[in-house]
Structure 1
Amino acid sequence: MMTTLLHVFSTFALGGPQIRFAQLVNALPGHHQHVVISLDGRLDAASRLAPHVEITYLTMPELKPLSLLERLKQIYQTIRRYRPEILMTYNWGAIEWALCNRFAGLCRGIHWEDGFNPDEATRLYQRRNLFRRLALGGRTEVVVPSQTLMRIARQQWHIPPVRLRYFPNGIEMPAQITPTNSAKKPTLITLASLRKEKNLPRLIKTVAAHAPDCRLLIGGDGPMLNELTTYVSKHHLSNQIQLAGRIDDVWDFLAQGDIFCLSSDTEQMPLSVLEAMGAGLPVLATDVGDVKSMLSAANHPFIVQPSAYAHAMAQLLATPDQWQPIGQANQQKAKQEYSFQTMLSNFCRLISPNR
C-alpha cells in the first residue's frame, strides 16, 4: 500500500533540514509517495533526491501576501487535495500548516523544529511561543534534534512527553577519507548555508586578524554570498580566504581542511559539525545548542563563547600535534552515536502507521 507524505518547507533551498530530508527519503524502504511544498518557490534541494523517489514538487510563494484567513483557507484546500496520511511541517515558516491541520483534523501531523531564525538567536518571542502552543497542540507530534530544544519544547511550548520526539541527526561516512590539503599553510574550513545566523563575518574577521598564516575555505551558498564576496575583495583577503560556493561532495571538500570552524549565533545540532566529526577534524565553534555535547571531550576546550573565539582559535593553531588525536576522537564518537542507520531507523518508526 502506497503512503503519501506531504512535506511543507518555508524554502527547499539547500540547508540542513532539506539535506537530511533528501538523505532519509532516498534510503527509505517501502512504498511512499512524497509531495514537497516550497513556500518561497525555491527547489535547489531537489537535486539531492534519487531518481527512484516518487516525489511531486509544488511552489506556493503566492501565499505570502494573503491575509492569515486567506492563507489558512488555501492551506486547508491543498491538504485536502493531496489527502496525505502524514503532514510533515518544518520549522517556524510552516507553522500555519500545522495550525490548520490541528484544528481541521485532516491527517496525522508531525512538526519538525531544528532551530531559530536570527531574530530569535538570543531570546524567544513570547507571541511565537504562544502561537506554537496553539499550532502544536492536540495530537500533533513534535520532533527536535537537540536536548536544548527538548527543554524549550517542554517548558515554553508545553509539549507533553507523549508527543515529543528526540531525533538526533546522523551521517553516513565513507569507509576512508584521505586528507588532500596540499597547501603549505594550515587550512581552516567551514561548510554552511550563507545566512545571517551563521555569522561568517565573525569567522572571516577572526582569521584575518589572528591567523594571518592560515587560509580559510568557506563552502556553501546562500543569500549572503555576494555580501561576503564583496567584503573579502574590499579588504584584500582573496589570497587568504576562498568562498567555494555550493559543495556537492562534502567529503572531498572537508578532506582539504585541518580544522573545522563554526561561528554561528544560533544552532541546535548542526549537520556540518557531524560531517566534520566524520571527516576526523578538530572543531573550533561557538558554544551554541548541543555542539559541545556532540563533540568528544578532547574537543571541549575549543567550544567557547563568542568573546573567546579568537583566543580559542589561537590556542588550537598553536598545538598542531593535538589536531589528529582530537579529530580521531570526534570521528569515533560520530561512528558510535550518530550513524545514518540509527537516524533512518528512527525515521521509519516515526512514520510507521502502527505507532
Structure 2
Amino acid sequence: MDDNVKNLASARATAHHKKNILHVFPTFAIGGQQVRFAHIANACPQDYRHTVVALDGNFDAKSKLLETVDATFIDLRQLKQQHVLQRMQAIQHYLADHQHDVLMTYNWGAIEWALAHRIFPHATTSATATKHVHWEDGFGPEEQQDRLPRRNIFRRLALSDDTKVVVPSHQLQHIAQQDWHVAASQLVYFPNGIALPESRSHTASDTAADKDTPSSKTTEQAQEPTFITLATLRAEKNIPRLIDSFLAAVPSGKLIIGGGGPLLEELREYVIQLDQTDRIELTGNVTDIWGFLARGDVFCLSSDTEQMPISILEAMAMGLPVVSTDVGDIKTMLSPENIAYIAAPSDYPEAMKKLLAHQDYWPTIGRANKLRVSQQFSFETMIKNFAALL
C-alpha cells in the first residue's frame, strides 16, 4: 500500500471514535455470512473495532480479512460443554465484563447471546445499554422445509422490541414476521452487495461475458463447456445432486467444484466411485474467486436451501449464466433473461439440459446478469446499509 494512503488511513482512524462491535458467530468458518462480514470490515477499517467470537473455535474466515482490520478473536468453544443455565450465566458475565457499543449475533447458533442481552441489557460497565443487532441468513438442513416450533418460540423470547433483526431475503422477511413475530419496525432488509471484479481485459482470465461466444468457438469447444460451482461443501448444498445432474444432462465437458468444507473428501470419493475424475474436479478452498470463476462457462447452484447466496452475485458479476434450484430469492436476484433456467430440485437436470441447448444465448444472459448486479446489488449500497444499522 502507498505510504500516503497508509498515513491517510491512520489519520482517519485517530480522528474519530471507532465503534466497538462484538460479533458472535456459531462458527467463523468460511461461508457467505462470514465472507460478507469480511468484505464490510475490509472496506472501512478506520470505522470499527471488531471482537469476533466463534462458538465452535473455527476461525478459518480470518484469511478473508485484511491486516488493516482492527479485530480480536475469542474462542469460546468451551461453552458448549456447559449446562444451558451455566452457559447463560457465563454469557452474562462476558457481556458485563467487556465494553461494546454494539452486540451482533448471527443465526440460531448465537440465539442464547440474544436472550442474555435481553434479560441483562445493562449488564455492562458502560453507562448505556449495548445496542443489539441479530442477523439471520438462512437455515441448516433441520429447518430447510419447516421451522421448528420450539426454535420459533425461543426466537420470540430472545429478540426484544429494541433488537434490529437483519435478513438478506424477502423470504426471510416473511418468516421473521409470521413465525418469529418480529415487528415491521424492527425488521431490516439487508441485501448482499458485491464489488465488481477489476477489468481483466489484458489477462487470460477475462470475464465470461467477454469470452468468445459459442458461435465463434470451434465446434469442439462449443460441445465441451465448463460448468462450475463455488460453495462451502455442506449437506444443504447438495453437491451430489449437481454431480448426478451434470452427468445426466451434459454429455461432454467438465464440472469444476470449488470450495472446502466437511464433505470435501466424501465428495471426492463419490467422484472416484463414479469413475468420473477426468470430467469432475474438486479444487478445495479457493482464494482467487475471480480467477476461479473465469474458468467456467456456466455457474451452477444445487442447494436445498438458500436465501441470498453471495456466490450467485459473484457469478453474475463475472457475466456467467446460472442454472439453479429454485430456493430463496434467487429468482429475484437474477436477470429476467436467466429465469427460465431456475427449476424445482426434481427438475434440475432438465434445467441444465435446457440451458445447454441454448449456448448461443449464454453471452446475452451473462451481460444481463452483470448489468443487474451492478445496478441492484452494489457494494457501496451494502456499506451504507451497514453504517445505517449502527
TM range (shorter): over 0.9
In the alignment, does 2:115 pair up with 1:99? yes
Output the TM-score relative to the length of structure 1.
Answer: 0.96
Letter in 2 for 1:329: A
Task: Report how far residue 179 of structure 1 moved.
Answer: 4.4
Query: Which residue in the other structure is 1:5 paired with?
Result: 21
Q: Name the SS for the 2:28 alignment partner.
A: coil
In the alignment, does 2:295 pair up with 1:256? yes
Partners of 1:280 and 1:331 within 8 A in 2: yes
Q: Name the SS for the 1:37 alignment partner.
A: strand
In the alignment, does 2:65 pair up with 1:49? yes
In the alignment, does 2:211 pair up with 1:172? no
Letter in 1 for 2:283: A
Query: Which residue in the other structure is 2:370 paired with?
Result: 331
Query: Which residue in the other structure is 2:315 paired with?
Result: 276
Query: Which residue in the other structure is 2:304 paired with?
Result: 265
Query: Which residue in the other structure is 1:121 paired with?
Result: 144
Distance 1:198 1:42 in 2: 20
Identify the match of residue 85 of structure 2 among 44, 56, 69. Answer: 69
Partners of 2:56 and 2:76 within 8 A in 1: yes
Q: Name the SS for the 1:162 alignment partner.
A: coil
Partners of 2:161 and 2:186 within 8 A in 1: no
Distance 1:252 1:175 in 2: 11
**Identity of paired residues, percent?**
50
Query: Which residue in the other structure is 2:104 paired with?
Result: 88
Task: Report how far residue 30 of structure 1 moved.
Answer: 4.0
Partners of 2:45 and 2:70 within 8 A in 1: no
Paired residues in the alignment total 351
Query: Which residue in the other structure is 2:12 paired with?
Result: none
Partners of 1:179 and 1:256 within 8 A in 2: no
Q: Which has the larger radius of gyration?
A: 2
**The 10-residue stretch of structure 1 (210-219 or 255-264) with the greater mean CA deviation from structure 2:** 210-219
Query: Which residue in the other structure is 1:213 paired with?
Result: 252
Partners of 1:28 and 1:348 within 8 A in 2: no
Letter in 2 for 1:348: A
Give per-residue Cα distances to partners, 1:43-74, cap 9 Å, x unaligned.
Answer: 11111111111111001111112111111111
Query: Which residue in the other structure is 1:37 paired with?
Result: 53
Query: Which residue in the other structure is 2:349 paired with?
Result: 310
Distance 1:336 1:2 in 2: 31
Query: Which residue in the other structure is 2:13 paired with?
Result: none
Distance 1:98 1:17 in 2: 18
Distance 1:242 1:78 in 2: 45
Runs of 4+ in 1 over 3 A off after TM superposition: 179-184
Partners of 2:45 and 2:68 within 8 A in 1: no
Task: Report how far residue 32 of structure 1 moved.
Answer: 2.1
Task: Report how far residue 307 of structure 1 moved.
Answer: 1.2
User: RMSD across aligned C-alpha pairs, in angstroms?
Assistant: 1.4
Residue segments in structure 1 that go unaligned for 5+ positions in a row? none
Give per-residue Cα distances to partners, 1:301-329, cap 9 Å, x unaligned.
Answer: 11110111111100100110011101110
Task: Report how far residue 285 of structure 1 moved.
Answer: 0.3
Residue segments in structure 2 that go unaligned for 5+ positions in a row? 1-16, 123-129, 201-205, 212-216
Q: Name the SS for the 1:327 alignment partner.
A: helix
**The 10-residue stretch of structure 1 (77-86 or 233-242) with the greater mean CA deviation from structure 2:** 77-86
Distance 2:18 2:358 in 1: 55
Q: Name the SS for the 1:73 alignment partner.
A: helix
Distance 2:228 2:245 in 1: 13
Partners of 1:102 and 1:138 within 8 A in 2: no
Distance 2:21 2:323 in 1: 38
Query: Which residue in the other structure is 2:126 paired with?
Result: none
Q: Name the SS for the 2:340 alignment partner.
A: helix
Query: Which residue in the other structure is 1:21 paired with?
Result: 37
Query: Which residue in the other structure is 2:333 paired with?
Result: 294
Distance 1:219 1:11 in 2: 20
**The 10-residue stretch of structure 1 (189-198 or 23-32) with the greater mean CA deviation from structure 2:** 23-32
Distance 1:156 1:334 in 2: 30
**The 10-residue stretch of structure 1 (130-139 or 163-172) with the greater mean CA deviation from structure 2:** 130-139
Partners of 2:207 and 2:319 within 8 A in 1: no
Task: Report how far residue 269 of structure 1 moved.
Answer: 0.3
Query: 1:101-250 to 2 correspondence within 5 Å?
Result: 101-106=117-122, 107-177=130-200, 178-179=206-207, 184=221, 185-250=224-289
Task: Report how far residue 83 of structure 1 moved.
Answer: 1.3
